[in-house]
């Protein structure tokens, strides 16, 4: 019997503080705040120095002291912007169709962060039809999303999980060697089911002259299994920056079609690696498919209606892009986001110091109440060889400088210092051997009808993560975090520290 492999060193910060845990900017601000205090003390004006110390000390505390992942000054700034958005009505949302305005069926009508995202249709992709591209104009990225059918990893052995983890590592490594894409996002959503969709399907397929014993057995199975069964939706989104796509896109004719053709060459080579990870089918979403993925993200109850329309052949061409967003979304509260009669609480999942194993995020998807929806999103960015070498050399240099400085001053190195130093050396050796560095972020959420007490369900999600991960509730940014945790558009990794996650 082999024990599952533990993956450690996943909680390394991108920009760790050099000076007593402070970043260079924070240290510079503290020095500037100390100058007037020291100046008045040198002049002998001790009363003025005490007043300045009180003022500058308060500002320094706001800049330095972290509160739930953010400095206090940033919390204050975000709170002011949040209140301004509520007072001015910027954070309220109503679709154009609900307001009675004319809409373009091919133009998405989406709130918040999604207003910067365009969804143009690309040309024909093999025999799968046209693929809906995702153009993030804010970050300058192009991508595409696929829907997967996957049986999950809950029933796999440790050896099988280890094999899947190795294949996932190979897939991420291959992304680092490609010229076009560098990010991949995996999104898993549970499907709330109150039984309506099944009842519609059953009424359409029921055999009227079925034996009585068969009917009785079917009803018993519905009562015992149907209420506890949970279905899942799995999406994968890949994207690349505009500066890497520009040259191959120009060679392919330029414009949206040229960028689509450059992406298609990569998409064609990703289907086999995704199937090696256990995906039975890989379906790249077209315009109506993307609209349905967004619509069911905002309104989980819409899935039953759309599925029934597809089953009965009354869906026509599919959902129009103009109907992809919510009908209405009031100003979000500080700790939750309300949309189309549902309320969502989203978190960022922080990796534990002791490490984790493959498949340990599964309990975050364990639905506790019928009608509840949970989501889990993992966003990866693979650094190219130049950025990877620079990152590991910076970590190694910082750990060596801090260790040497403590020894020169007579301080003993702590266990955390030794772990940081050994981790930096191991990472540098791995990059030198041909591996790459992967930035990643994990987001989770729970969605319930607005008439329910969402705090009870949020507490259950936190209980499921207790002892495995630390969930950081991203207050004052729940509407943006909803996009990161629920919608398959590839948004979730900031360009630098201080972004969304």
Q: Which tens digit of pLDDT belongs to each residue from 36-87?
A: 888 888 888 888 889 988 998 888 888 888 777 778 888 888 888 888 888 8
Q: Where are the beta strands (DSSP E) in 85-140?
A: 93-94, 117-118, 121-124, 130-136
What six digits make up the tokens of 424? 């930096």
Residue 17: the pLDDT is 57
276-297 confidence digits (pLDDT tens): 888 999 999 999 999 999 999 9
Structure tokens at 166: 């190795």
Q: What are the domain boundaries of the chain?
A: 65-193+230-384+436-486
**Type and span of the H or E element at 280:** strand 279-284
Question: How far is 100 from 297, CA to CA, in rounded Å?
Answer: 23
Residue 448 burial by CB count (10 A; 0-12/13-18/19+): exposed, middle or buried? buried
Burial class (CB within 10 angstroms; exposed 0-12, middle 13-18, buried 19+) of 344: buried
Tell me the backbone φ, ψ of residue 149, rounded to 5 degrees: -110, 120
**E strands, 288-362, where?**
328-329, 337-339, 342-350
CA angle 323, 326, 331 (to 5 degrees): 150
Q: What is the pTM for the complete model shown?
A: 0.85
φ, ψ at 378 (rounded to 5°): -120, 120
Tell which residue, 192, 463, 147, has the closest CA to residue 342.
192
What is the length of the chain?
Answer: 501
Backbone angles phi, psi at 293, to 5 degrees: -65, -40
Q: Do 349 and 361 touch, CB atoms closer than 8 A?
A: yes
* Cα dihedral 449→452→454→455 (10° resolution): 180
Provide φ and ψ at 373, rounded to 5°.
-120, 135
Query: CB-based burial of residue 161 (10 Å sphere; 0-12 exposed, 13-18 middle, 19+ buried)?
Result: middle
Token pair 């996002």 is found at 185
Coil, strand, or helix at residue 81? helix
**Please, how many CA atoms are within 13 Å of residue 238, restricted to the half-sphere of its CB?**
27
In degrees rounded to 5, what are phi and psi of residue 70?
-130, 140
| Regions of the chain with pLDDT less than 50 | 1, 497-501
Quote the radius of gyration of the chain (alpha carbons, Å).
26
CA distances, 446 to each of 326, 338, 352, 359 (Å): 17, 12, 21, 19
Burial class (CB in 10 A: 0-12, 13-18, 19+), 238: buried
């Amino acid at each position: 019997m082999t024990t599952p492999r533990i993956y450690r060193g996943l909680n390394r910060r991108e920009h760790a503080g050099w000076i007593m845990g402070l970043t260079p900017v924070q240290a510079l601000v503290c020095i500037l705040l100390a100058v007037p205090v020291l100046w008045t003390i040198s002049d002998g004006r001790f009363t003025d120095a005490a007043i300045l110390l009180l003022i500058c000390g308060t500002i320094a505390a706001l800049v330095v002291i972290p509160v739930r992942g953010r400095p206090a000054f940033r919390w204050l700034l975000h709170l002011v912007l949040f209140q301004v958005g509520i007072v001015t009505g910027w954070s309220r949302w109503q679709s154009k169709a609900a307001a009675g305005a004319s809409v373009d069926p091919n133009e998405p009508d989406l709130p918040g962060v999604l207003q910067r995202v365009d969804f143009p249709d690309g040309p024909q992709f093999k025999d799968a039809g046209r693929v809906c591209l995702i153009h993030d104009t804010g970050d300058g990225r192009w991508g595409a999303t696929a829907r997967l059918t996957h049986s999950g990893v809950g029933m796999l052995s440790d050896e099988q999980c280890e094999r899947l983890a190795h294949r996932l590592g190979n897939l991420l490594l291959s992304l680092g060697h490609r010229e076009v894409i560098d990010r991949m996002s995996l999104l898993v959503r549970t499907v709330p089911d109150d039984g309506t969709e099944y009842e519609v399907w059953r009424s359409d397929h029921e055999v009227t002259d079925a034996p009585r014993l068969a009917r009785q057995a079917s009803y018993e199975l519905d009562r015992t299994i149907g209420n506890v069964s949970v279905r899942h939706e799995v999406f994968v989104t890949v994207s690349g920056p505009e500066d890497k796509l520009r040259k191959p896109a120009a060679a392919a004719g330029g414009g949206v079609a040229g960028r689509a053709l450059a992406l298609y060459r990569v998409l064609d080579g990703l289907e086999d690696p995704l199937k090696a990870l256990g995906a039975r089918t890989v379906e790249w979403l077209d315009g109506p498919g993307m609209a349905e993925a967004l619509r069911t993200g905002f309104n989980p109850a819409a899935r039953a209606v759309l599925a029934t329309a597809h089953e009965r052949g009354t869906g026509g061409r599919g959902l129009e892009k103009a109907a992809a967003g919510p009908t209405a979304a009031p100003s979000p509260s500080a700790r939750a986001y309300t949309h189309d009669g549902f309320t969502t609480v989203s978190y960022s999942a922080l990796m534990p110091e002791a490490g984790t194993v493959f498949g340990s995020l599964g309990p975050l998807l364990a639905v506790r109440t019928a009608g509840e929806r949970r989501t889990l999103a993992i966003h990866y960015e693979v650094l190219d060889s130049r950025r990877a070498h620079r990152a590991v050399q910076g970590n190694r240099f910082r750990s060596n400088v801090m260790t040497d400085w403590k020894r020169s001053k007579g301080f003993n190195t702590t266990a955390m210092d030794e772990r940081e130093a050994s981790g930096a050396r191991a990472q540098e050796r791995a990059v030198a051997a041909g591996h790459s560095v992967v930035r990643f972020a994990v987001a989770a959420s729970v969605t319930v009808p607005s008439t329910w007490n969402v705090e009870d369900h949020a507490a259950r999600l936190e209980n499921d993560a207790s002892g495995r991960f630390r969930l950081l509730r991203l207050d004052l940014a729940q509407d943006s975090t909803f996009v990161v945790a629920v919608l398959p558009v590839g948004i979730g990794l900031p360009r630098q520290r201080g972004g969304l996650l």
